[in-house]
Amino acid sequence: MTAPPEDPPRDVQAITGQNPLTGATVGNLNPAFADELGVDGAERGVVVSEVKQGSIAQRLGVAKRDLVVSLNGRSIANVAALRQALAVASQGWTLTVRRGEKLLSVTVRG
Instruction: For residues 15 and 3, give the distance between their C-alpha atoms in angstroms, rounded to a whole number.
Output: 28
Q: CB under 8 Å to 59, separation ≥6 — which residues?
A: none
pTM surpassing 0.85? yes
Residue 100 CA to its chain's centroid (Å): 14
Q: Is the dihedral of CA 19, 95, 34, 102 positive or negative?
A: positive
Q: pLDDT tens digits, residue range 60-95? A: 999 999 999 999 999 999 999 999 999 987 889 999
Domains of the chain with CATH codes: 13-109 (2.30.42.10)
51-63 residue pLDDT tens: 999 999 999 999 9
List pLDDT tens digits, range 14-59. 999 999 999 999 999 999 999 999 998 888 999 999 999 999 999 9
